Structure 1
Amino acid sequence: MASAMPFLPFDNLDNAARWVTVLSSFAIAVGLLRLLHVRQNLSGRSRLLASLLIAQVLMFGLLSLLVMFDGSGMPWLRSAVRIGIATLNAIGAVALWTNFRALASLPSPGHVASEQRRLTLELATALQRYEMALRGSNVAIFTQDRALRYTSVSKPLFGAPVDQVLGSTDTELLGEARARPLNLLKRDCFAAAAARKGETEMEENGSKRWYDIHVEPLRDLAGTIVGLTGAAVDVTERKENEQHLRLLMRELTHRSKNLLAVIQAMARQTARHAGSIDEFVEIFSARLQALSRSHDLLVQESWHGASLNDMVRSQLGHHIDRENSQVTIKGPNIFLKPEAAQNIGLALHELSTNAAKYGALSVPTGHVDIIWARRMAEAGGGFELSWRERGGPPVTTPTGRGFGSLVIERNLARALDGEVQLEFAPGGLICNVSVPEHHLTAER
């Protein structure tokens, strides 16, 4: 005798499944509608497919609801729902196959994640290079809010570290007086809603620094001005170079006037003692060349000064460098200021010219010793230079003084505030020059 099968509540399970279908369909539809509202940037193709899916899910939910409540009183409603589902299925199939290639080419989640990591790395690398370039430059990039409080800065600004700059205003960082030009510039930028440029001077750690400031309004996505962004360029080096150039121009003007005065005096004195125009041209040209050689040395040292050793060699090089030289030079390394170098150069030229014409350098047996030494501090410092000729023709004291003697005895002593002794000894001319310490400078 067969036993009866146990009772199973299939009707209850069937109704529960229908309720789950209805609620899930509406939940999916609401979720998709919410997604379409949030993702306004979806393409038209994506929005169409999502709309078809929403309609199809709603139709399934509605059909399950009709079956559950047995809509026998409205048989046409079930038919309408089935026709709607069939229509949506047909449209969905056409849309799917029409867009199949685009859907098939969508990247996989792994590829998307890999591409995001790559782009993130590239962005981080570019940002690192940007920050490194800013750190190594004299440009600081910053942003400020409407209250002119710094919200970001690329490097220390106006001598203050980054953590001190952030959240502060220019007035808090610099004080009201020094911040006033910056505040006026930035408020003008807000008022005009346009870029503004200016220049400001700061004092940092006891030294002056100059900055070029460029600011522009900072806008949000709606175009509203929410602050400003700007750049502060440290132009201190340029300013210092400009000041140095102006100083050089003034110095050049001063030296040009002095040089013209020296040349004018040389021309006047040479003309006074020259016997003819040809003699004047020859002597004056030689003296100009001697002055030019002194200037060449000064230019090489940027007019800081000139070495005494180099000065002697520049004026007597044609006697020193030849075989069986008749000139001996000896002395420590001494650096002359420009005016002293120029005057000593002219004196050495006159002494060598006189020696070549009438003195020790006019005969093969003659010799000239040029020796200099530093003086002790107790004696006032400075140095003494000695020019001694020997082995030349007998020397007699001249009855008059030529331009060379005037350059050596009078002009040199007056220009250097020193002492010059010119002795016409029978054995050879002796010239001793004493130069004070203030005409010397440190070697570069």
Structure 2
Amino acid sequence: MSMTRDEESSEVVGAEAMQLLAQEQAAHAKTRQELIDIQRRLDECLDQHKRDIGLIEARFQTALHGARVCVFSQDCALHYDYVSKPLFGLPTDAILGNADEDILPASACAPIVAAKREVLATGEPRDLEISIERDGIIWYDVHIEAMRDPAGRIAGLTGAAIDITGRKESEAHLRLLMRELTHRSKNLLAVIQAMARQTAKHAGTTERFLARFGARLQALARSHDLLVQESWYGASLYDLVRSQLGHYIERDNPQVAVDGPTVRLKPEAAQSLGLALHELATNAAKYGALSRARGRVAIGWQVQADGGVALHWIESKGPKVASPMRRGFGSLVIEHNLVRAIEADVELAFEPDGLRCRITIPASQLLEARDALER
């Protein structure tokens, strides 16, 4: 059966339509697969970004946790909407939603609010230091910047507050040390000048003056070495004795015995007593027990009922002792300098079997145990 021309034309049109439909379906399938691939890649990128952000956030929190820094943000009404950790001595839940006026004392609030309003008005960052009295003084170094929306408009503030209380305390302590150093330097100069005058008065010759003055300067330097090691907080009485008589104590057959409880002297007491011990040792080495191999010196101290300390210097087995006809510089240092400088009570006894010296140091010249621990 033969087809008419119209039937043949319709069949061709139908075949072409089916072909176009198949092509269109294939294109849609391809586009759909491409969209699926794009979505998969976007999901992978999103997951990676989430992981990266999580890692950055973890590092950020770790850094903040280990540092004395609090990061914060506030809206344009200056209400806190984020704080990374407790701030201004307050927990985070006492800060969020509040303004500085709600949580800070007026003395600290005024300068920080003024700085924040200036940043909101100008967009320029600001830095300032504030102090807050809350169970003691807390110091903060605060940095403030404007926070902008995608259009570039100021949408609030962000900033960081660093706790600098430790630094401020160190600076205050350093200023105190500098004042004390100035005072002690003047005192030391006065001591050296007096020592030079008295040494020259009793020396007789230039050579003798240089030898004696040099030895006394070295004794003073040894006391200062102890004080420097302890940052000028004071010195142990035992260490002070060893610094002036160590070469007699550390021998195989020591000539000096030392015994006494732990006692810490204030700097001026250590300086004055160090010179007195040097003069006692020098006298003993020239004329007393330390001038003979069999001679002995016993140094001991006890804490008194009033909190002071009584130190005893007892010589034995040395040459026979007689009271000197006149007092030399050593006696002046022992008897007068200790009394004048630290209000000590000094008793010198020239017993036939050896010199005896008792030095009572008042409690005001001693460091209490808690003072030594808190330094």
The two structures have a TM-score, normalised by structure 1, of 0.74
SS of 1:328's partner is strand
Give the aligned length.
352
- Which residue, out of 245, 254, 257, partners 1:328? 257
Matches within 5 A, 1:10-89: none
Q: Tell me what 1:312 maps to.
A: 241
Shift of 1:365: 2.3
Q: Tell me what 2:287 maps to.
A: 358
Q: Tell me what 1:400 maps to.
A: 326
Q: Tell me what 2:124 maps to.
A: 194
Counterpart residue type for residue 351 of structure 2: A
User: Structure 1 residues 272, 176: closer, same or farther in 2, change over 3 A?
Assistant: closer
CA offsets 1:127-178 (integer angstroms, 9 cap, x no match) = 1221222122111111111111111111112112111211110001114443
Q: Which has the higher contact order (CA 8 A, sep 6+)?
A: 2
Q: Tell me what 1:216 maps to.
A: 145
Counterpart residue type for residue 308 of structure 1: L
Q: Does 1:431 pair with 2:361?
A: no
Q: What is the alpha-carbon distance in structure 2 between the residues aligned to residue 363 and residue 215 of structure 1?
A: 77
Q: Tell me what 1:116 maps to.
A: 46
Q: Tell me what 1:162 maps to.
A: 92
Counterpart residue type for residue 220 of structure 1: D
Q: Tell me what 2:308 maps to.
A: 382
Question: Any stretches of 5+ residues in structure 2 without a counterpart?
Answer: 1-12
User: Structure 1 residues 235, 381: closer, same or farther in 2, change over 3 A?
Assistant: closer
Shift of 1:362: 0.9
SS of 2:71's partner is strand
Q: What is the alpha-carbon distance in structure 2 between the residues aligned to residue 108 and residue 193 of structure 1?
A: 40
Counterpart residue type for residue 154 of structure 2: I
User: Structure 1 residues 237, 367: closer, same or farther in 2, change over 3 A?
Assistant: same
Shift of 1:114: 4.7
**Structure with max Cα Rg:** 1
Q: Tell me what 2:347 maps to.
A: 421
Q: Tell me what 2:5 maps to.
A: none
Shift of 1:105: 11
- Which residue, out of 143, 166, 178, partners 1:249? 178
Alpha carbons 2:227, 2:235 under 8 Å: kept: yes
Q: What is the alpha-carbon distance in structure 2 between the residues aligned to residue 142 and residue 333 of structure 1?
A: 51
Counterpart residue type for residue 160 of structure 1: L
Q: Tell me what 1:66 maps to.
A: none
Alpha carbons 2:105, 2:132 under 8 Å: kept: no
Q: What is the alpha-carbon distance in structure 2 between the residues aligned to residue 170 and residue 307 of structure 1?
A: 50
SS of 1:122's partner is helix
SS of 2:253's partner is coil
Shift of 1:385: 1.1
Q: Does 1:151 pair with 2:81?
A: yes
Q: What is the alpha-carbon distance in structure 1 between the residues aligned to residue 321 and residue 252 of structure 2?
A: 26
Q: Does 1:267 pair with 2:193?
A: no
- Which residue, out of 41, 49, 57, partners 1:127? 57
Shift of 1:107: 5.1
Question: Any stretches of 5+ residues in structure 1 without a counterpart?
Answer: 1-78
- Which residue, out of 276, 283, 292, partners 2:212? 283
- Which residue, out of 271, 276, 280, partners 1:342? 271
Counterpart residue type for residue 145 of structure 1: D
SS of 1:432's partner is strand
Task: Report percent identity of matched pairs.
Answer: 52
User: Structure 1 residues 244, 152: closer, same or farther in 2, change over 3 A?
Assistant: same
User: Structure 1 residues 254, 107: closer, same or farther in 2, change over 3 A?
Assistant: same
SS of 2:231's partner is coil
Shift of 1:413: 2.0
Q: Does 1:178 pair with 2:104?
A: no
User: Structure 1 residues 258, 171: closer, same or farther in 2, change over 3 A?
Assistant: same
User: Structure 1 residues 176, 340: closer, same or farther in 2, change over 3 A?
Assistant: closer
Counterpart residue type for residue 78 of structure 2: L
Q: What is the alpha-carbon distance in structure 1 between the residues aligned to residue 109 and residue 209 of structure 2?
A: 67
CA offsets 1:52-92 (integer angstroms, 9 cap, x no match) = xxxxxxxxxxxxxxxxxxxxxxxxxxx9xx99x98xx89x9
Shift of 1:371: 1.8
Q: What is the alpha-carbon distance in structure 1 between the residues aligned to residue 207 and residue 111 of structure 2?
A: 68
Counterpart residue type for residue 182 of structure 1: I
Q: What is the alpha-carbon distance in structure 2 between the residues aligned to residue 154 and residue 181 of structure 1?
A: 22
Q: Does 1:240 pair with 2:166?
A: no
Shift of 1:253: 0.6
Q: What is the alpha-carbon distance in structure 1 between the residues aligned to residue 292 and residue 106 of structure 2?
A: 81
Q: Tell me what 1:47 maps to.
A: none
Q: What is the alpha-carbon distance in structure 1 between the residues aligned to residue 364 and residue 68 of structure 2?
A: 40
Q: What is the alpha-carbon distance in structure 2 between the residues aligned to residue 328 and residue 148 of structure 1?
A: 72
SS of 2:257's partner is strand
Q: What is the alpha-carbon distance in structure 1 between the residues aligned to residue 319 and residue 107 of structure 2?
A: 79
